[in-house]
């Protein structure tokens, strides 16, 4: 950041990032943990209050900006990525964080989401995925599993869900990650990595809705199962899981398989090593779709992190180049364009 | 009458020419080249491009006809001309479509090579109009435009298809000869346009010259015409279309307010050119964002306004409908944005390439909740420049969304514009927020305007959004009385703009029998009609709205000084509804919604009828 206001300023504490408003999420909501980890991360990164701009759409998650002491904008349903695009292009030196939910981003805002990723807008998209519409009180969402019984699907939802990680990868997001509301340390690590990323950073957060979809992620993240059902991705490390890290993921062709390293058939050398900088994105896609396979653990961590010129950088580069070529525009210049003749 | 090379030269005051052909024939280019050259000669002019929505409709059909009407004169004019004096018809369909609108005894130059059996069939002619007597009374000049272009270009090495595409330049050259125009401006343009393709430069210039020399040597033309320069006020001039003027106006507003310009937009006919023009102004620090849809266009604009930019979005009617919810967000967050609506025929997709004024009530009221915005309208192509500055000034000074209405006719049409001196353009003062310790997001100044603290500024951190806000503090508030108060404040804030806008002016007597009241792009037709009626001795005055919400403060007083008020609109009476509602005044409507500007003659007839006369 080129901001010199930072010099000689006391570093802020997590509580300094609280706006002081009463937080009105339901008791036990996963959003509390996300808010707390964001405040800790902002303090750790060393942000001043005027630096990050926090933008949201509509839904429970989108109340987020009101609870932070930074600049915040609570937008309209689905449009947070577009709002954030305008803000980041206007303020290229400020980090723009977006809080959004599965209805907001995957349904009404789907178009804005894919295009923000495609354009590599320099924004951080936090998807609070609880697989349900909360604020409208319990209808199925674009990430709800098929067959889910809700108020609008009394006989079971007949929709196939989106895989948000796959959608982000397919839209060419340059940073794609997943974390879990139950894992505050992991969440902070991911937020910190996202803060260092220039370009679209997409983070899916498994977030529990205690009222309308309680326990939606218990299969993955509950204490007693998480060792076996969650694969923590680490760059450059073999993909191991299980209580004693005795299990690993191997590739059979393009198909990932879970194997036990103790049964003598496979060694750690057979286990695939994670490489988040893989430009092709093939490995990231394979990992993304492990979530759909009940026989495989669900990966969390950074799926992909590559550096590409952002939309804002390209725009500033054009402004600089054209200004060098044509000279900085003035009113006199503007009013002398075109085929001019004089009347006396 | 002078004579030149054995041909008579006739002085004309005023001519309307129509170039018409297939939508692939290059008629828009031909028309705009003729306009630019004519402007450089100092004529006053006004144009009406009229083209189908299809890019290349089936060749030879009537619905595929693309036309460019151009009115030029040695005096001050305001319309593209009611009826052409000269028609250049590149095929039978172009003739058939335009024949009903020609002046009696008009000159018709036809590309006779296109009048084949197939061409006649496509235009649904049962017999050849050139050979039967259906064109009796007109001066028909059949020219082998296609064949002569082929002959002229046979050695260029171009394909027959490319040669056929050059025939518009032959026609243009011929018209340059007929109206005594120089070839140089078009030759210069050809050189610039095809700089890297010498073969195309050569071919186009050859075709142009072949047409010119044909006029000179052929026996078909016995007369050529001269239209002297108009006596325009002294100054520097250029020809300008409404869309280009709009784009330039916002760049000027950015420089005048010292706020960088941001445009978030999505391509839509007939507004796309504004995005195209503004994309070129990178060296003026202009950021353009071609968004994924109309909604992202306006929402990104709001995001940029939050960050302190002069932020605008451009669209046309259906796009404004999509932006509706977001404009409401800008109303409740009280952020300055400008939404440009280049109106076209509606509803729905309607008539994308035709003009209309039917979005006035959409601009005024088309949002959920009580959501007042300022509304202004440009009245001519060059006025788009000034109204873009005015729209920006109102938005930045009053922290409100402003809708700037233009329309397809003035957006695509062009006229000579006296370029203002820099000193004629007033700075846009943008109020600064109070010191951080005194700052609250919804504090109010004497005009009820809240302070604008751009996101990212140290010390002014605040949160805004679509939920109702408590006045002053800006905290979310569900309090019933606060909501009632905020609704009144937002309305009064827009009304207070009235103190800062010019009064409604009257062209003609200040009081009397009849006042014609218009708004936006009908300015030219109404002005022309009023002046003609006055020349015939009728007492009629004209007032034209450029500021519609709020209206100028003397509006009611002006309207009540006349016994009758006539409101012509290219809609079903939307300004009439506003005036009746506001002032309980009985106004007389005149409404034709044909996708075309009014003819001044129809308005003149209506005025004279209301004054108890009869127009002959």
Q: For residue A54, give its domain range.
A: 4-216+309-318
Cβ pair A335:B299 closer than 8 A? no
CATH of the domain at A106: 3.40.50.970
- Show the tokens assigned to B487: 């609704």
pLDDT in tens, B465-477: 999 999 999 999 9
As a whole number of angstroms, the distance between CA A125 and CA A138 comes to 23
- Show the tokens assigned to B409: 């006719």
Specify if A112 maps to a domain.
Answer: yes
As a whole number of angstroms, the distance between CA A247 and CA A222 comes to 19
Query: Is B51 a residue whose pLDDT tops 90?
Result: no
Q: What is the mean pLDDT of residues B285-295?
A: 98
Q: Write down the mean pLDDT value for chain B.
A: 95
Cβ pair A329:B308 closer than 8 A? no
Cβ pair A343:B325 closer than 8 A? no
Cβ pair A87:B455 closer than 8 A? yes
Specify if A331 maps to a domain.
Answer: no
Which stretches of chain A score pLDDT less than 70?
1-8
Q: Which of A7, A86, A108 to mutate to test the interface with B (most CBs of B within 10 A)?
A: A86
pLDDT in tens, B90-119: 999 999 999 999 999 999 999 999 999 999
pLDDT value of residue A2: 46
- Show the tokens assigned to B541: 């005055």
Specify if A234 maps to a domain.
Answer: no
Specify if A287 maps to a domain.
Answer: no
Cβ pair B329:A75 closer than 8 A? yes
**Given the structure tokens 């937080």, which residue do they identify?**
A23
Q: CB-based contacts of B575: which residues, under 8 Å, 6+ apart?
A: B360, B517, B518, B519, B545, B548, B567, B569
User: A73 to chain B nearest CA, in Å?
Assistant: 5
How confident is residue B196, by pLDDT bands cut at 50, 70 and 90?
confident
Q: Which of B250, B306, B388, B474 to mutate to test the interface with A (most CBs of A within 10 A)?
A: B306
Q: What radius of gyration, in Å, describes the C-alpha atoms of chain A?
A: 23
Query: Is B499 a residue whose pLDDT tops 90?
Result: yes
Please list every residue in chain A whose beta carbon sits closer than 8 Å to the beta carbon of residue B39: 339, 341
Which residue in chain B has the smallest CA separation from A317?
Answer: B282
Among B128, B149, B155, B130, smallest CA distance to B140 is for B130
- Show the tokens assigned to B286: 């202009």
Helix (H) or strand (E) holding B55: none
Among B259, B281, B397, B394, smallest CA distance to B339 is for B394
Among the partner residues B326, B420, B457, nearest to A335 by beta-carbon distance: B420
Cβ pair B464:A343 closer than 8 A? no
- Show the tokens assigned to A241: 């899981």
Specify if A126 maps to a domain.
Answer: yes
Q: What is the set of domains in chain B, with CATH numbers?
A: 2-227 (3.40.920.10), 240-424 (3.40.50.970), 506-610 (3.40.50.920)
Which residue in chain B has the smallest CA separation from A90?
Answer: B304
User: What share of chain B in percent tops pLDDT 70?
Assistant: 99
Count the Cβ atoms, other than its own, within 10 Å of residue A279.
9
- Show the tokens assigned to A146: 């098929």
Specify if A281 maps to a domain.
Answer: no
**Cβ-contact B23, B66 below 8 angstroms:** yes
Please list every residue in chain B whose beta carbon sits closer than 8 Å to the beta carbon of residue A112: 292, 295-296, 299
Specify if A303 maps to a domain.
Answer: no
pLDDT value of residue B342: 98
pLDDT value of residue B218: 85
Count the Cβ atoms, other than its own, within 10 Å of residue B103.
15
pLDDT value of residue B1: 53
Among the partner residues B36, B248, B311, nearest to A334 by beta-carbon distance: B248
As a whole number of angstroms, the distance between CA B432 and CA B599 comes to 48
pLDDT value of residue A1: 44
As a whole number of angstroms, the distance between CA B236 and CA B419 comes to 6
- Ramachandran angles phi, psi of A236, nearest 5°: 80, 0
Specify if A181 maps to a domain.
Answer: yes
Among the partner residues A48, A71, A322, nearest to B282 by beta-carbon distance: A322
How confident is residue B3, by pLDDT bands cut at 50, 70 and 90?
low
As a whole number of angstroms, the distance between CA A181 and CA A61 comes to 13
Which residue in chain B has the smallest CA separation from A335?
Answer: B419
As a whole number of angstroms, the distance between CA B324 and CA B255 comes to 29
Query: Is B326 a residue whose pLDDT tops 70?
Result: yes
Among B306, B188, B217, B320, smallest CA distance to B266 is for B320
Query: Is B24 a residue whose pLDDT tops 90?
Result: no
Among B482, B456, B454, smallest CA distance to B468 is for B482
pLDDT value of residue A49: 97
Among the partner residues B237, B282, B463, nearest to A343 by beta-carbon distance: B237
**Cβ-contact A34, A181 below 8 angstroms:** yes
User: B305 to chain A nearest CA, in Å?
Assistant: 8
* Pairing verdict, β B14-22 and B7-12: unpaired
Domain count for chain A, please give it. Answer: 1
pLDDT value of residue B88: 97
User: A58 to chain B nearest CA, in Å?
Assistant: 9
User: Hey, CA dihedral for B456, B457, B462, B465, is it positive or negative?
Assistant: negative
């Amino acid at each position: 950041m080129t901001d010199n206001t930072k010099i000689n300023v006391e570093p802020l504490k997590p509580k300094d990032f609280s706006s002081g408003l009463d937080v009105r999420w339901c008791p036990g909501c996963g959003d509390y943990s996300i808010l707390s980890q964001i405040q800790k991360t902002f303090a750790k990164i060393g942000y001043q209050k005027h630096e990050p701009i926090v933008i949201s759409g509509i839904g429970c998650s989108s109340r987020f900006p009101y609870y932070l002491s930074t600049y915040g904008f609570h937008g309209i349903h689905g449009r947070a990525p577009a709002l954030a695009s305008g803000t980041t292009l206007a303020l290229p030196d400020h980090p723009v964080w977006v809080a959004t939910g599965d209805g907001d981003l995957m349904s009404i805002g789907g178009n804005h989401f894919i295009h923000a990723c495609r354009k590599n807008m320099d924004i951080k998209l936090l998807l609070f995925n609880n697989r349900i519409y909360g604020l409208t009180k319990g209808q199925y969402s674009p990430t709800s599993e098929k067959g889910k019984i809700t108020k609008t699907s009394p006989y079971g939802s007949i929709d196939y869900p989106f895989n948000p990680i796959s959608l982000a990868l397919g839209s060419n997001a340059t940073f794609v990650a997943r974390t879990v509301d139950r894992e505050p340390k992991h969440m902070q690590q991911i937020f910190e990595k996202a803060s260092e990323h220039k370009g679209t950073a997409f983070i899916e957060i498994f977030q529990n809705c205690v009222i309308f979809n309680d326990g939606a992620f218990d299969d993955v993240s509950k204490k007693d199962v998480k060792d076996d059902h969650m694969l923590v991705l680490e760059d450059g490390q073999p993909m191991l899981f299980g209580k004693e890290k005795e299990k690993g993921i191997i590739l059979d062709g393009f198909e990932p398989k879970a194997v036990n390293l103790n049964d003598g058939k496979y060694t750690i050398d057979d286990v695939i090593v994670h490489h988040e900088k893989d430009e092709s994105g093939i490995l990231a896609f394979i990992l993304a779709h492990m979530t759909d396979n009940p026989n495989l653990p669900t990966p969390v961590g950074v799926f992909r992190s590559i550096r590409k010129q952002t939309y804002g950088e390209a725009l500033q580069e054009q402004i600089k180049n054209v200004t060098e070529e044509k000279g900085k525009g003035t009113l006199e210049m503007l009013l002398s364009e075109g085929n001019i003749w004089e009347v006396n | 009458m002078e004579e030149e090379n054995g041909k008579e030269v006739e002085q004309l005051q005023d001519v309307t020419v129509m170039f018409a052909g297939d939508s692939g024939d290059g008629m828009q280019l031909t028309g705009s080249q003729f306009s630019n050259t004519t402007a450089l000669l100092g004529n006053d002019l006004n144009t009406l491009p009229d083209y189908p929505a299809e890019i290349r409709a089936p060749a030879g059909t009537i619905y595929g006809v693309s036309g460019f009407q151009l009115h030029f004169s040695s005096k001050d004019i305001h319309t593209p001309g009611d009826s052409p004096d000269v028609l250049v018809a590149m095929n039978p369909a172009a003739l058939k479509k335009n024949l009903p609108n020609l002046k009696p005894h008009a000159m018709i130059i036809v590309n006779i090579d296109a009048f084949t059996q197939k061409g006649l069939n496509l235009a649904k002619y049962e017999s050849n109009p050139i050979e039967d007597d259906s064109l009796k009374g007109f001066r028909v000049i059949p020219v082998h435009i296609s064949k002569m272009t082929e002959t002229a270009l046979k050695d260029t090495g171009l394909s027959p298809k490319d040669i056929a595409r050059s025939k518009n330049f032959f026609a243009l050259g011929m018209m340059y000869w007929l109206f005594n125009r120089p070839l140089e401006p078009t030759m210069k343009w050809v050189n610039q346009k095809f700089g890297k393709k010498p073969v195309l430069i050569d071919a186009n210039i050859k075709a142009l010259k072949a047409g010119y020399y044909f006029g000179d040597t052929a026996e078909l033309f016995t007369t050529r015409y001269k239209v002297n320069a108009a006596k325009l006020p002294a100054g520097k001039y250029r020809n300008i279309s409404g869309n280009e003027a709009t784009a330039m106006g916002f760049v000027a507003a950015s420089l005048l307010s010292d706020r960088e310009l941001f445009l978030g937009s999505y391509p839509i006919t007939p507004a796309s050119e504004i995005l195209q023009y503004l994309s070129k102004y990178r060296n003026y620090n202009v950021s353009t964002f071609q968004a994924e849809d109309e909604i992202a266009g306006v929402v990104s604009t709001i995001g940029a306004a939050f960050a302190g930019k002069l932020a605008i979005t451009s669209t046309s009617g259906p796009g404004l409908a999509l932006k509706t919810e977001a404009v409401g967000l800008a109303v409740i967050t009280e952020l300055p944005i400008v939404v440009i609506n280049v109106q076209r025929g509606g509803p729905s997709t309607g008539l994308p390439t035709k003009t209309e004024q039917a979005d006035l009530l959409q601009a005024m009221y088309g949002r959920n909740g009580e959501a007042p915005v300022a509304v202004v309208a440009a009245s001519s192509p060059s006025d788009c420049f000034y109204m873009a500055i005015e729209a920006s000034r109102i938005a930045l000074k009053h922290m409100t969304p402003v809708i700037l209405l233009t329309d397809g006719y003035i957006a695509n049409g062009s006229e000579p514009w006296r370029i203002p001196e820099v000193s004629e353009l007033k700075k846009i003062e943008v109020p600064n927020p109070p010191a951080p310790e005194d700052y609250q997001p919804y504090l109010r100044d004497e005009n009820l305007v809240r302070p604008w603290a751009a996101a990212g500024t140290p010390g002014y951190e605040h949160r805004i959004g679509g939920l109702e806000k408590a006045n002053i503090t800006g905290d979310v508030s569900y309090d019933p009385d606060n909501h009632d108060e905020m609704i009144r404040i937002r309305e009064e804030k827009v009304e207070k703009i009235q103190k800062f806008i010019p009064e409604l002016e009257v062209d003609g007597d200040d009081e009397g029998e009849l006042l014609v009241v218009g708004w936006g792009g009908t300015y030219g037709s109404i002005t022309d009609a009023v002046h003609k009626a006055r020349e015939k001795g009728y007492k009629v005055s004209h007032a034209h709205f450029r500021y519609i919400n709020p209206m100028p403060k003397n509006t009611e007083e002006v309207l009540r000084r006349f016994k009758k008020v006539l409101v012509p609109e290219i809609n079903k009476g939307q300004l009439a509804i506003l005036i009746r509602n506001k002032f309980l005044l009985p106004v007389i409507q005149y409404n034709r919604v044909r996708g075309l500007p009014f003819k001044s003659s129809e308005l003149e007839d209506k005025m004279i009828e209301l004054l108890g006369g009869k127009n002959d």
